[in-house]
Every structure is written in C-alpha cells, then in structure tokens.
Amino acid sequence: MAIGKKNGLDPDSFFTVAQELIHQTGYVTGKSDEAHYWKTLRGKTGIPGADQEYRKEILKRFVLRDQMLRVVKTLRSSGMITAILSDQTNWLDEINKRSPFYYHFDFVFNSYVLKKSKRDPSVFKDVCTLIGIKPRQAIFVDDNITNTKNAESAGLRTIHFLNVKDFEKELANLLR
C-alpha cells in the first residue's frame, strides 16, 4: 500500500493488484522469480523505481506478532505440534534471517517451496500428511477469510484471526 501511495495510486487498489499478480505470475509458488514479478507489476500499474527499493519497502514492514509467538511457545511446550503455512516467496527465509522465528515451530511450510498456495485447498491436506496428522486434528489460523474457508473445506478446524483477544478465546474453545 505504501508503494502505491508513494506513486500516487490508490493504496487499496494497488495492494489488490500487487497481491493478485504475486499469484498470477507464480512468484508466490516459486514458479517464477522476483524480477518477473516486479516487471509484471510495473507493466500493470505504471510504477517506476528499482526492484531493490520496493523489496526493501515490503520487507521492512513484516512484523512478527510477539503475542502470537508466545501462544505458539505455550502450545508447543504442552506437547502440541506447531507449524506455519505461509503464502510467501523467498522473502520468508530473509525475514527469518533478520528476525529468527522458525525455531518456534516444528514445521515451516512456504508456498514458494511447496509450489502450491493456500488458494489451492489441497495444500492443507498435503501439509497434514507431511506432519503426520489427519486434517481434523489441525487448527488452522489465518487473517485471510478465503484461506480459512479453503482450509475448512479440506477438513481442518479454523480460526479467522482478527485480533489476539478473540483468537485466544476461539483457540481455547477448540482445544476443549
């Protein structure tokens, strides 16, 4: 959104185009590279500027939610398997290098490596199989309602994340 605003475009519209193109170009599933993504985004939106400038703008905005990591730590210490399934590019590893968080999880799954995103409901069953659990044994949490619906259609229990307080209540209910 900041890139769109900086270039005199409607931030929400720019974000929607950028998000859609990361899927259409195949960058989020590792089927194309970052240069192709930026070239396609420039062609669609007319933004000028260098790839490095924009990637820095995006990467500096990734913020880990400490409260969520504390929940993960508590779950893991109680013997539960913890995993992250991220629709992300090679940037996820860069974020982890800058602010290590992979160690909080038993498994880290990235669409870029899996070659499949959360838009494909079969990814949820694939991940459950890799973990060694049945879909009904999993609780999937995401701030994108479409992703939670896709996970639910694959048989997972889901929480649509809106805020930490509501998430903790919903999680407690599912864990009863």
Nearest to 135 by CA among 114, 151, 118: 151
Q: Are residues 35 and 70 in the same domain?
A: no
pLDDT at 123: 98
> How many Cβ atoms sit within 10 Å of the Cβ of residue 10?
12
Q: Are residues 80 and 26 in the same domain?
A: no
pLDDT at 63: 85
- Hey, what are 58's tokens? 């995006």
DSSP state of 2: H
Domain count, the chain: 2
Q: Are residues 84 and 32 in the same domain?
A: no
Q: Are residues 77 and 155 in the same domain?
A: yes
pLDDT at 19: 95
Taking the chain (176 residues) in runs of 10, the rounded mean pLDDT of each run is 95 96 98 97 95 92 90 96 97 94 97 97 98 98 97 98 95 94
Nearest to 17 by CA among 42, 34, 35, 36: 42
Q: Which domain holds residue 44?
A: 2-59
Q: Are residues 45 and 75 in the same domain?
A: no
Q: Are residues 75 and 55 in the same domain?
A: no
